[in-house]
Chain A
Amino acid sequence: MGEGRVRGIMSMVEVCWHGRGGQGAKTASQFLGEAALDIGKYIQAFPEYGPERAGAPMKAFTRISDEPIYVHSSVTSPDVVIVIDPTLLGTVDVTEGLEDEGILLVNTGKSPADIRKAVGLKHGKVGTVDATRIALETLKIPMPNMPMLGAFLKVNNIVSIDEVSAIVKAKFIKKIGEEKTNANIEGIKRAYNELKIG
């Protein structure tokens, strides 16, 4: 049970995002939180700020709950771990603290079994999807954060694809235009459909 749930609430979901600076882990963590806030949940979304620089390993967190969230420390026992950059697998222990029933989602073309072996995970579930390829095919740039958000939606139904799409639209349309916004939503949907779980 995650520390955030010490109040005995089983409905708290804690997500840990692993990426490198500039890959959009913070953005994805916030979009997930905002979609949940929109449907009346309590949320927290925050990055772990270190020396901020592009390419450095970084973490971001999302907490979603039906009850007010009081805990303010970083997530140590995630229910879902999302690895946006597969090159982190060798350098960061992405399985650290993962709940017994936890889920590890990795951006990779490899199979869940291969990843399970690579990270030495004995429990939980592993999901894989080639989010970078999806991003290249939809958005035309290697930005895998939105597809990985789609992968999350497949394994956790606390918010729906439509609810997340609404947030993506609201946040992106002014900033990057309709075409790229739709490409991002397409990426979310494709990853949702293409995720392999093992």
Chain B
Amino acid sequence: MTQVKSKKLPLTGDQAVATAMKQIDPDVVAAYPITPQTEIVMYFSNYVANGQVSTELIPVESEHSAMSACVGASAAGARTMTATSANGLALMWEIVYIAASLRLPIIMPVVNRALSGPINIHCDHSDTMGARDSGWIQIYCESGQEAYENTILAVRIAEHKDILLPVMICQDGFITSHAVEGVQLLEDKKVKEFVGEYKPDHPLLDVDNPVTYGPLDLQDYYFEHKRQQSEAMKGALKIMPDLFKEFEKAFGAKYDFIDTYKLEDAEIAVVALSSTAGTARSVVDGLRAGGVKAGLLRPRVFRPFPKEKIIGALKNVKALAVLDRAESFSAEGGPLYTEIKAALYDSGIKPLVANYIYGLGGRDIFPDDIKKVYSDLGAALKNKKVSNPINYLGSRE
């Protein structure tokens, strides 16, 4: 027994993340409020005002400045956090890449929201999916509980000496960020112990050992630095399992790159991120009761892309539907779909694969929608052919 379980508290996903930030007590938070992330910054500002954290809060005038301040603080050697959504992340863009390339372990909860236009405040993954090539680690959360725990776990991932990459912890805007659920909080003391003290190797403020961050880096070394970034991301795949285990040892909660439900003997399966995977899980039992061998795969980590884990989990599946809450306008389907298809190419398994783009701008996805997907997969299995590779689930035609 690692800790006495306290009563669950009724918290929204945003409140849960703000609580994680309070327990982490970072040195610096620079943030700008944007719906549906606002509550995170609001609650955290209260903690600062009430003296419950020792954080230096920098209220900036835009997200571009928020991430710029984070880069400066992190390079100086401070444990640094921010949080954002949608257009806020878009406005950070330039500095988001810089944060990753300077190997700054900044922690950023992102409450997923549709990018404008047309203007929309509701959930989809177009914001973080757009940032998938920025060099940040990306973790997607099904519930407020997971967003809370992943925020704490992310500190260790980001700051690991052989990773040193910033981390986005993504949860679904409004769907989990504003829904009250019972959240099991971890003991303050244990969280403090788990995240430990941040001791950067090369802080700017260490004037006895001067370093330079962000100098001009042209043809002769830029490529090698990018290569190192790439190796760090690949290395994260090897290091993160140790941190998952440490988290489990400290708090009891099991984490991995992926989460599966009844996938072992499944013939047909749905792949989905975040809260939609929960809705899909609620459908699987009903299908199983009706004799349908249905399963579910939920990638929790999208960057780095856990190819081996995903392929391993899908080895028995004959027909697969990948649900994307983002449109990448590639004319070849959504981002999760294209990556999973690419991973399958030389895997030795060749399930039928279909893509379902859904839920853009917060369009609700119901159990019946997901049942339809499984039913399409059943038909594909029978016909040995996917009738329509790219579908728009829940959209008016």
**Which A residues are within 8 Å of any B CB, using their own CB?**
3-4, 6-8, 30, 33-34, 37-38, 42-47, 49, 69-74, 76
Tell me, in angstroms, the Cα distance from A47 to B174 when the chains sit together.
Answer: 9
Q: Please name 21 pairs of A and B residues whose Cβ atoms are closer than 8 Å in the assembled complex, sorted by A.
A: A3-B367, A6-B283, A6-B367, A7-B282, A7-B286, A8-B286, A30-B10, A30-B180, A37-B10, A43-B180, A43-B182, A44-B181, A45-B10, A46-B175, A46-B179, A49-B174, A70-B282, A71-B278, A72-B276, A72-B279, A73-B279
Apart from the given pairs A8-B286, A46-B180, A73-B367, 18 other A-B contacts in the complex at a CB distance below 8 Å: A3-B282, A4-B282, A4-B367, A33-B10, A33-B180, A34-B10, A34-B180, A37-B10, A38-B7, A42-B182, A44-B181, A45-B10, A49-B122, A70-B278, A70-B282, A72-B175, A72-B276, A72-B279
B365 touches A (CB below 8 Å):
yes
Tell me, in angstroms, the Cα distance from A33 to B364 when the chains sit together.
Answer: 22
Nearest chain A CB to B43 CB, angstrom units: 16
Cross-chain contact A43 with B174 (CB below 8 angstroms): no
B308 touches A (CB below 8 Å):
no
Tell me which residues across on chain B come within 8 A of A43, comparing CB atoms. 10, 180-182
> Most chain-B CB neighbours within 10 Å: which of A30, A45, A73, A76?
A73
Tell me which residues across on chain A come within 8 A of B182, comparing CB atoms. 37, 42-43
B303 touches A (CB below 8 Å):
no
**Which B residues from 340 to 376 make CB contacts under 8 A with A?**
364-368
Tell me, in angstroms, the Cα distance from A3 to B172 when the chains sit together.
Answer: 21
Tell me, in angstroms, the Cα distance from A42 to B122 when the chains sit together.
Answer: 25
B245 touches A (CB below 8 Å):
no
The interface on chain B, measured as residues whose beta carbon lies within 8 A of the other chain's beta carbons, has a size of: 29
Cross-chain contact B289 with A8 (CB below 8 angstroms): yes
Cross-chain contact A71 with B282 (CB below 8 angstroms): yes
Cross-chain contact A46 with B289 (CB below 8 angstroms): no
Cross-chain contact B180 with A45 (CB below 8 angstroms): yes
Q: Known contacts A3-B367, A72-B275, A74-B364: does B285 contact A44 (CB below 8 Å)?
A: no
Tell me, in angstroms, the Cα distance from A70 to B175 when the chains sit together.
Answer: 12
Nearest chain A CB to B89 CB, angstrom units: 20
**Which B residues are within 8 Å of any A CB, using their own CB?**
7-8, 10, 121-122, 172, 174-176, 178-182, 275-276, 278-279, 281-283, 285-286, 289, 364-368
Tell me which residues across on chain B come within 8 A of A72, comparing CB atoms. 172, 175-176, 179, 275-276, 278-279
Cross-chain contact A44 with B282 (CB below 8 angstroms): no
Tell me, in angstroms, the Cα distance from A46 to B177 when the chains sit together.
Answer: 10
Nearest chain B CB to A2 CB, angstrom units: 10
Tell me which residues across on chain A come within 8 A of B282, comparing CB atoms. 3-4, 6-7, 70-71
Nearest chain B CB to A15 CB, angstrom units: 13
Tell me, in angstroms, the Cα distance from A74 to B121 when the chains sit together.
Answer: 17
Tell me which residues across on chain B come within 8 A of A8, comparing CB atoms. 285-286, 289
Nearest chain B CB to A61 CB, angstrom units: 9
Tell me which residues across on chain B come within 8 A of A37, comparing CB atoms. 8, 10, 182
Tell me which residues across on chain B come within 8 A of A76, comparing CB atoms. 366
Name the residue on A nearest B369 (C-beta).
A73
Tell me which residues across on chain B come within 8 A of A45, comparing CB atoms. 10, 179-180
Cross-chain contact B10 with A7 (CB below 8 angstroms): no
Nearest chain A CB to B383 CB, angstrom units: 26
Tell me which residues across on chain B come within 8 A of A7, comparing CB atoms. 282, 285-286
Name the residue on B nearest A29 (C-beta).
B180
Tell me which residues across on chain B come within 8 A of A44, comparing CB atoms. 179-181
Tell me which residues across on chain B come within 8 A of A4, comparing CB atoms. 282, 367
Cross-chain contact A73 with B178 (CB below 8 angstroms): no
Tell me which residues across on chain A come within 8 A of B121, comparing CB atoms. 49
Cross-chain contact A71 with B279 (CB below 8 angstroms): yes
Q: Known contacts A8-B286, A72-B176, A72-B276: does B181 contact A3 (CB below 8 Å)?
A: no
Name the residue on B nearest A38 (C-beta).
B7
Tell me, in angstroms, the Cα distance from A45 to B174 when the chains sit together.
Answer: 12
Name the residue on B nearest A41 (C-beta).
B182
Tell me which residues across on chain B come within 8 A of A6, comparing CB atoms. 282-283, 285-286, 367
Tell me, in angstroms, the Cα distance from A119 to B172 when the chains sit together.
Answer: 36
Nearest chain A CB to B50 CB, angstrom units: 14
> Most chain-A CB neighbours within 10 Å: which of B8, B182, B364?
B182
Q: Known contacts A6-B286, A49-B174: does B180 contact A70 (CB below 8 Å)?
A: no
Tell me which residues across on chain B come within 8 A of A3, comparing CB atoms. 282, 366-368
Tell me which residues across on chain B come within 8 A of A34, comparing CB atoms. 10, 180
> Most chain-A CB neighbours within 10 Å: which of B174, B282, B285, B365?
B282
Tell me, in angstroms, the Cα distance from A37 to B10 when the chains sit together.
Answer: 7
Nearest chain A CB to B12 CB, angstrom units: 8
Tell me, in angstroms, the Cα distance from A33 to B179 when the chains sit together.
Answer: 11
